[in-house]
Chains A and B, each alone.
Chain A
Amino acid sequence: MGETVLMKGNEALAKAAILAGCDGYFGYPITPQSEILEYISRELPKAGGVMIQAESELAAINMVYGAAGAGARVMTSSSSPGISLMQEGISYLASAELPCLVVNVNRGGPGLGTIQPSQSDYFQATRGGGHGDYRTIVLAPASVQEMADFTYLAFDLADKYRMPVMILADGALGQMMEKVTFPDYDPDEHKLPKPWATVGKPPDRERNIITSLYIEPEHMEEINLKLQQKYRQIEQEEVRWEEIETGDADIILVAFGLAARISRKVIELARESGLRVGLLQPVSLYPFPSPRLHQLASQAQLMLTVEMNAGQMVEDVRLAVAGQTRVEFYGRTGGMIPAPEEVWEYLNQLLENNTSGTGQPVARNMEGAQP
Chain B
Amino acid sequence: MTQLESELKLKRDGYEVVYQRPHTLVDVPNRYCPGCGHSVVHRVLMEVVEEMNIQSETIGVAPVGCTVFAYDYLDVDMQGAAHGRATAVATGIKRMLPDKFVFTYQGDGDLAAIGTAETIHTANRGENILIIFINNGIYGMTGGQMAPTTILGATTSTSPAGRSLELHGHPLKITELIAQLPGAAYVTRQSVHKPGNVRKFKKALLKSLQLQRDKAGLCLIEVVSNCPSNWKMTPIESNRWMEENIMPEYPLGDLKVPSTKES
Contacts and interface: CB of A to CB of B under 8 A. Distances in A.
Contacts of B77: 198-201, 207-209
A24 interface: yes
A63 B89 contact: yes
A66 B92 contact: yes
Interface residues of A, number: 40
B81 interface: yes
Contacts of A65: 79, 81-82, 85, 88-89, 92
A217 interface: no
Interface string A201-221: 111000111111100000000
A115 interface: no
Interface in B49-96: 55-59, 61, 68-69, 71, 75-82, 85, 88-96
A207 B88 contact: no
A68 B78 contact: no
Nearest to B92: A66
B97 A199 contact: yes
Nearest to A52: B95
Nearest to A71: B96
Given A59-B117, A70-B96, A212-B80, A52 B91 contact: yes
Contacts of B85: 58-59, 62, 65, 89
A207 B56 contact: no
A59 B56 CA distance: 27
A199 B96 CA distance: 9
**Main SS class of interface, B:** helix
A56 interface: yes
B contact residues, range: 20 to 34
Nearest to B100: A200
B215 interface: no
B96 A24 contact: yes
B158 to A, nearest CB: 23
A24 B89 CA distance: 13
B118 interface: yes
Contacts of B95: 24, 50, 52, 63, 67
B121 interface: yes
Given A50-B95, A67-B95, A70-B96, A210 B80 contact: yes
Contact of B92 (A69, A88, A202, A208): A69
A55 B118 contact: yes
Interface in A258-295: none
B93 A70 contact: yes
Contacts of B90: 66
Contacts of A70: 59, 92-93, 96-97
A74 interface: yes
A63 B59 contact: no
Nearest to B71: A209
Contacts of B81: 62, 65-66
Given A55-B121, A69-B93, 13 more contacts: A24-B92, A52-B125, A55-B118, A58-B118, A62-B88, A65-B88, A67-B92, A67-B96, A92-B82, A198-B77, A198-B93, A199-B100, A200-B59
11 contacts: A23-B96, A54-B121, A63-B91, A66-B79, A67-B92, A69-B93, A198-B77, A199-B77, A200-B77, A208-B78, A211-B71
User: Which 3 pairs of residues, A with B, have the shortest CB-CB distance?
Assistant: A66-B92, A211-B80, A67-B92
Interface of A: 23-24, 26, 50, 52, 54-56, 58-60, 62-72, 74, 88-89, 92, 96, 198-203, 207-213
Interface of B: 55-59, 61, 68-69, 71, 75-82, 85, 88-97, 100, 117-118, 121, 125
